Amino acid sequence: MTQRLTQKKLGILAEVSTPTVSRFEQGEKDIQLSSVLKLLNQLGMIDDRNLTFPDPKKFYDQTRKVIVFFGEDQHQKITCAISREALVDHYYKGSKSLEAAFVKYRSRIEHEARRKYVSGRLEPDGSILIKTEDL
């Protein structure tokens, strides 16, 4: 989609100088990163999604055979799950139980959920399901 912005207008909106916009367009390498980020943000090219995991709760869903846990992006709750198969194939490694494996490797599992979230690989209901083939 064309935004039809002049260099001057983009500079004003991004709070950078017009010469900075010109250098950015020409691909010069001496532009401050903060200026580049302002320009990219103004052009809608920055992804500001940030999936965090403030809620430590989890539970095993026997019907779906997944451990369910919850993430949050700007106060929007995101349901996440990892399949039993993925836990066994990639994280079980001597753990006493699936739940123990989940707890031990939770940061890695959350990282994978975050990666799927940012890349837009969501289930039809907007949740995240980590399967063995994702790892």
Residue 124 has pLDDT above 60, yes or no: yes
Q: Is residue 47 part of a domain?
A: no
In which domain, by residue range, is 31 found? 7-42
Count how many domains the chain has: 2
Whether 29 and 69 map to the same domain: the answer is no
Whether 115 and 73 map to the same domain: the answer is yes
Whether 92 and 124 map to the same domain: the answer is yes
Interval 31-62: pLDDT, tens:
999 999 999 988 888 888 899 999 999 999 99
pTM of the predicted structure, to 2 decimals: 0.73
Q: Is residue 32 part of a domain?
A: yes
Q: Is residue 48 part of a domain?
A: no
Best CA proximity match to 101, nearest among 51, 67, 53, 65: 67
Q: Is residue 73 part of a domain?
A: yes
Compute CA distances 52 → 41, 75, 91, 117, 128, whole Å.
Answer: 21, 10, 21, 11, 13
Cα 90 from chain centroid (whole Å): 21
Banded pLDDT at 29 (limits 50, 70, 90) = confident
